[in-house]
Amino acid sequence: MVLQFTDRGIYCPAGGFYIDPWKPVDRALITHGHADHARPGHGRYLTTGSAAPVIRHRLGDIALDTLAYGETRQIGAARVSYHPAGHVPGSAQIRVEVSGEVWVASGDYKTVDDGLSEPFEPVRCHAFITESTFGLPIYKWPDQATLAADINGWWAANAAANRASVLGVYSLGKAQRVLRLLDPAIGPILTHGAVEATNQVIRAQGLALPETIPVTPDLDLKTLPGPMVLAPPSALGSAWMRRFGPASTGFASGWMRLRGMRRRRAADRGFVISDHADWEGLNSAIRATGAERVFVTHGYTAQFCRWLRDQGYDAGIVETDYNGESLDEQDTKKDQA
């Protein structure tokens, strides 16, 4: 096997490296900067140039090298290259070739172009390792225009009633994607410290984001009526929220597609938005690889694996320590201002 599944992570014997390992290893190839894929403690890291700034921000002074998308590197007897995954800025699928056999570890991915991340590119291979976070037919994402209209309509109604709109979003990926959907003409856009810290990293890479105002202890909220506040999910319902007075809360996640999930999160509104592929995205991505073998990781693994077998694939389930899209913040809370 080109890649093996171990208790430390996905391992390539021919190259002596791991892909997104969850336990400390000497050499780690990282698909993207979310905390369940880019972990501390490894000896050496390799990632894309556009994922590197966020990973450095999160992990500090590490031995980090980069590859451009499509650039090939020989590591031992393995040829390695990174290809856009469309998940968050800098996210990649990792192609590994050994003696003419090609495997692709996709990490997390989505096939719809969000205008922020490098668009997903299918990679032909013999074996494909796929997530299945939303691997059921009920998961279908609305288009960007519909999503923008829904969020801005909610915000405008709250602003007219002099209420703050507080939206729970992941600090990396979801926050910046939502930012680009917002209409700044409605009112000011405020950010939790953890969101703003990531925004600064993203802006420094040249990605355009609307103007935001960090929430600090000395911020005079009376001068900023009807704001949109972007915060990690962990901040919703916390003492941090009290400063906004009467507020309407929202939650942005693919899980909002499930009935009752908004009530479980005690949110007034739920918006269906995910940086993972929906049902059709998963299936179209797998078809485009031409792979005959498919390994299914985190998510609806049993159901999706069974579906793939029914479609004629040689499919199996792989146990990993990845979270997919949880209902809690994935990123390190460096700033709880």
- What domains can you pick out in the chain, each with its CATH number? 4-138+275-317 (3.60.15.10), 144-271 (3.40.50.10710)
Q: Considering the entire predicted model, what is its pTM?
A: 0.94
CA angle, residues 322, 328, 329, in degrees to nearest 5: 80
The listed range with the strongest mean pLDDT (91-100, 264-273, 326-335) is: 91-100
Residue 276 and residue 134 in contact, taking contact as beta carbons nearer than 8 Å: yes
What is the tens place of the pLDDT at every residue in 197-254? 999 999 999 999 999 999 999 999 999 999 999 999 989 888 999 999 989 999 999 9
Q: Which pLDDT belongs to residue 337?
A: 32
CA 132: distance to chain centroid?
13
Q: How confident is the model at residue 18 (pLDDT cuts 50, 70, 90)?
A: very high
Residue 284 and residue 118 in contact, taking contact as beta carbons nearer than 8 Å: no
Q: How confident is the model at residue 264 (pLDDT cuts 50, 70, 90)?
A: low
What is the tens place of the pLDDT at every residue in 174-199? 999 999 999 999 999 999 999 999 99
SS3 at position 337: coil
What is the tens place of the pLDDT at every residue in 47-72? 999 999 999 999 999 999 999 999 99
Shortest CA distance to 66 belongs to which of 58, 78, 76, 56? 56
Q: Is the four-CA dihedral 83, 84, 90, 93 of positive or negative sign?
A: negative
